[in-house]
Amino acid sequence: MGKRSADTLSEKTKDQTTTSTTTTRKPKKIKSTNKTTTEPLKKEPEAKDNEDDDILSTKVPFIKKTQVEQAVKVLIDHSNKNLETNLDKGELFADQIGANDRFLNLVIGLKRITPKPKHKPIKIMLSHPLYDPRLSPVCLIVKDPQREYKDLLEEEEITFISKVVGINKLKGKHSSYEARRLLLNNHTLFLADERVLGVLPGILGTKFFKSNKLPIGIDITKPDRLKAELERAIGNTYLRLNNGSCLNIKVADLGRLNFDQILLNLTDVLGQLGKKLPLDGWNNVASVHLKLGTSISLPIWLAPLTDDLTSNGRFSTTLTQQEMDKIKAAEDRIALKKEKKSSKLPTKLDRIVPV
């Protein structure tokens, strides 16, 4: 009897231990499942908010704000270091040597070149003016007699134009190469009456065309609007459509504008590029870089690499009907040449006398 009671007691204790273990394991499983379900739900909205904050502008949502900010900071440091090294070396005119590194340039890489280059620059509005006439001399080219327009500037109390030059003075006083070189180097910006723009390329020569100081046309026939027209021309930046696949746009003066003002000018330019660029706007853009005069180009956006030609990939292009007709005509010419060559081969073989 003693053995049976001991066995029954041992069985009861085993049952109690098993039930206790099973009861203690169940809350652990419930707690672990609750942790896994609640943790990812907290992280998802934070990631979405970060993505929205990283957009530079709603007009260009594919360009990241952090990428642009990092590139601008690096280029500002590069510009300041170059100026300090020139001053430490005792370079004469150190400010003029580093002038190329003071302007931030936006470099646009196109998938296809512009079919018809335009010498007339395209205006792009900026929140903060690109030039300060008190620091950057401005030259105005007018019709003859130039004294009439000098008096007009005095009457309208326009004092931010450094020099007024007529066509006869350009042909006479500034006809030599050295005189034109001094005129080019002594002025940051050139404005010209729209009525004389067609004559200027032959007078100014190739030196002006190789530089980025081509005269910008303005309307000076209305005296009451002359001051506003000049201020608008000085405050804007300009896009010049050349015959290459790379376009350069001046965005900001690093020595005069602060970090927030530079970013605001960048958003202005990028937001207007879609309507200014040829061949379907942003669909024709392969890359966007930021650059100074002597620095390397820092990328802020690259078109994605996709195999699907219908999407906006780096190598995908949407051809116009005129371009498709040209490609088809070229293919037809190549096929016709191949047919002519193949038709001439049997005649040459027939002339060979069999041995």
What pLDDT digit, counting tens, does each position of 42-84 carry? 333 343 445 556 777 777 888 888 899 999 999 999 888 887 7
131-235: CATH number = 3.40.50.790
| Sequence-ordered alpha helix ranges (H) in the chain | 2-53, 65-88, 94-97, 146-155, 167-171, 177-185, 200-204, 206-210, 226-235, 259-276, 321-351
Segment 176-213, tens digit of pLDDT: 888 888 888 888 889 999 888 888 888 888 777 777 78
Q: Is pLDDT above 70 for 132?
A: yes
Q: Is the pLDDT of residue 333 over 90?
A: no
Q: Would you place residue 322 in the very low, low, confident or very high pLDDT band (cuts 50, 70, 90)?
A: low
Name the CATH topology of 52-112+243-312. Ribulose 1,5 Bisphosphate Carboxylase/Oxygenase (3.30.190)
Q: Where are the domains of the chain?
A: 52-112+243-312, 131-235
**pLDDT tens for each residue of 256-292:** 899 999 999 999 999 898 888 877 788 888 899 999 9
Is beta strand 285-291 parallel, antiparallel or unpaired with respect to 103-110? antiparallel
pTM of the predicted protein model: 0.67
Largest CA distance in the chain: 137
pLDDT for the residue numbered 26: 47
Which amino acid is it at 181?
R
User: Is residue 308 pLDDT above 70, yes or no?
Assistant: no
